[in-house]
Structure 1
Amino acid sequence: MKFFNRFIWSCIILMGPLYLEAQEEESNPLLTDKFYVEAGVFIPQKDVKFGADGDLGEDIDFGRTFDFNDNQATFFFNGEWRWNKKWRLTGEYFAVNNASRVTLDRDIVLDNITFEEGTFVRGGVEFALFRVFVGRTISTGPKHSLGAGLGVHMVNIGAFLEGEVRTDQGDKEFRAPRTSFLIPLPNLGAWYHWAPTPKWAVSTRLDYFGISIDKYSGGLWNIAPGLKYQIIQNFGVGLDYRFFFLNAKVSDDLWQGEFDMNFSGPLVTLHGNF
């Protein structure tokens, strides 16, 4: 009996660390590591409408008017710091710019300057997004994480036209009206990660904003479902689909107008976690 008891305790002592290691391996490192950094290529389709001075009968559809490339690739970055088991800080960035030259098939107006049908003009839009988000975990386990929080989308938006316009005296002269502004948009957000194995994880994230603040009013949706694969312990790849929609009206001393933007498409990423 003494020999049997010693044998049992020896097995427990020897197998204990292996059992604990196996238990630890059940969790995907994306659920447990403190830092997560992700970079990739976003390939969005774009729908951009822009109107200035608030008195236009019709917004400028830049995508249709200037035949923008719907599949232009752009850089994407995302980083996350989980400073304890409950709280995390996230930052995200991407930018989309387009410009081209066309002969107008109708009159268009920007900043009270009319570019007439049949004239040759260059036009473009500039968009950059920086998102900061602070979230708290609501429910967590070896294979899942659910949380919510508050954030802000800093959106830098610009549009320009360049070409000849007819003056009141009947002469033609070159004009290049340009407008650009930065909008801070607070939002509510939530996320859910499900990792059935240490290698595979499915995630989704949702940001929403839909209130009026000071000089700005409008709505924002930022939706991001994705699939992650952990190649090794600290490195992996991902395939997401991003949908970003923003419409707003601006009433400012420097600029008044409205815009409607939709960027949606696949996102291919590489990530590191540690």
Structure 2
Amino acid sequence: MLRLPYKNYWTSGICLPATVLACIAGSQQAVGNPISDTHIFRVGAYEQDIDVAASATRGGAPEVEIDFDKALGLDDSATTLFFQYQWRFKENWTLSAFYTNMSADGSNTAGRDFNWDGVDYKAGARLDTEFGVDTYLIAVDYSFIKTDKLDIGAGFGLHAFEIETDIEAEVGIVEDGNTDDSIRGRVARNTTELLAPLPNIRGFARYMITPKWAVLGSLGWLSANYEDYDGDYLFLTALTEYRFTENFGIGASYQISEIDVTNDNGNRKRAFDIDQYGPSIYLTYGF
């Protein structure tokens, strides 16, 4: 960093030129970035469109897939917070951890009788639904190509999806589209939970456009069948971020993810097909 003596700075008549030169010199210094930093933290929010189709049956009951948007009135978008940590523990090795929580709700009138996870719901009942997915990720990546500007590699990750669905049905007298709450009564309710671990193989690339401006992309997919689980998970993320100081920056991304998982233990079967896609904005800190 350029340092000027206090006396000369104010008495030599070069205050403004000296300030400009100091800024220029400072801008040429190396700054932290996603390739060189040992530790990186990101926190932000997604604005995601969501599409959910699922089925849940017990005791050999017929399996009927339900479109949560059309049949249950589930919101088709949600704002989701996320947290990410990246640790470059060796020159070419990084460990990443990620967490996000998506939740949505909806209400609708059942157009037909249906069974969800052993509970019968009757046509005409008012349905109130809550749906949520907690996503956890741990991944290890290796850089095959790593320079000051470019980082390309692959790795292995394990996602765990904690899925929870709550469907409650109520009945009452309906007049002119309004239900008389004074005589409304709950007739059915069910909460279904599933923790689904799904592995994936990942590829990634990071490129420094300037010492402060980076673009990053990652792609992952794997189909797995083990024990009571059968599923596949696909994700694609593209992001760009800018460091306005050596450590702090801001970024934006777009993510697409498709979760398709089935858990069948012989007596109970639960299947979810969840699509999420949308942009995000986030803050980043690295050192």
TM-score, with length taken from structure 2: 0.80
Aligned mate of 1:262, from 260, 275, 281: 275
Per-residue deviation, residues 94-124 of structure 1 (Å, max 9, x unmatched): 1111223322223332013221221112112
1:92 maps to 98
The answer on whether the counterparts of 1:28 and 1:195 sit within 8 Å (CA) in structure 2 is no
Give the corresponding residue for 2:84.
78
Q: What's 2:198 paired with?
A: 185
Deviation at 1:163, TM superposition (A): 1.6
Distance in 1, Cα, partners of 2:99 & 2:132: 14
How far apart in 1 are the matches of 2:217 and 2:113? 43
Secondary structure, in 3 states, of the residue corresponding to 2:34? helix
Alpha carbons 2:259, 2:274 under 8 Å: kept: yes
For this pair of structures, how many residues does the alignment match?
A: 247
User: Percent identity of the aligned residues?
Assistant: 25
1:111 is aligned to 117
Separation in 2 of the partners of 1:266 and 1:254? 40
Aligned to 2:225: 212
Q: How far does residue 154 in structure 1 lie from its aligned partner after superposition?
A: 0.9
> 2: CA distance between counterparts of 1:91 and 1:251?
29
Choose the corresponding residue for 1:46, options 41, 44, 50: 50
Q: 2:244 aligns with which of 231, 248, 269?
A: 231
* Structure 2 segments unaligned to the other structure (5+ residues): 1-25, 172-184
Provide Cα deviations, 1:119-171, integer angstroms capped at 9, x if missing partner.
11211212110000011111111111011111100110121211248xxxxxx
| RMSD over aligned Cα atoms | 2.2
1:241 offset after TM fit, Å? 0.3
Distance 1:180 1:236 in 2: 37
Contact 1:107/1:114 (CA < 8 Å) preserved in 2? yes
Q: CA deviation at 1:254?
A: 7.4
Cα distance in structure 1, aligned partners of 2:145 and 2:234: 24
Q: Take 1:255 and 1:57, find their aligned partners in 2: how far apart are those partners?
A: 11
CA distance in 1, matches of 2:193, 2:239: 32
1:197 aligned to 2:210?
yes
SS in 2 for 1:43: strand
2:114/2:121 contact within 8 Å kept = yes
Of the candidates 160, 163, 168, which is equivalent to residue 157 of structure 1?
A: 163
2:143 partner amino acid: T
Give 1:65's match in structure 2, choosing from 64, 71, 93.
Answer: 71
Give the corresponding residue for 1:135.
Answer: 141
Measured at CA, do residues 224 and 31 of structure 1 come closer, stay the same or move farther in structure 2, by a change above 3 Å?
Answer: same
| Structure 1 segments unaligned to the other structure (5+ residues) | 1-20, 166-171
User: Partners of 1:35 and 1:78 in 2: how far apart?
Assistant: 11
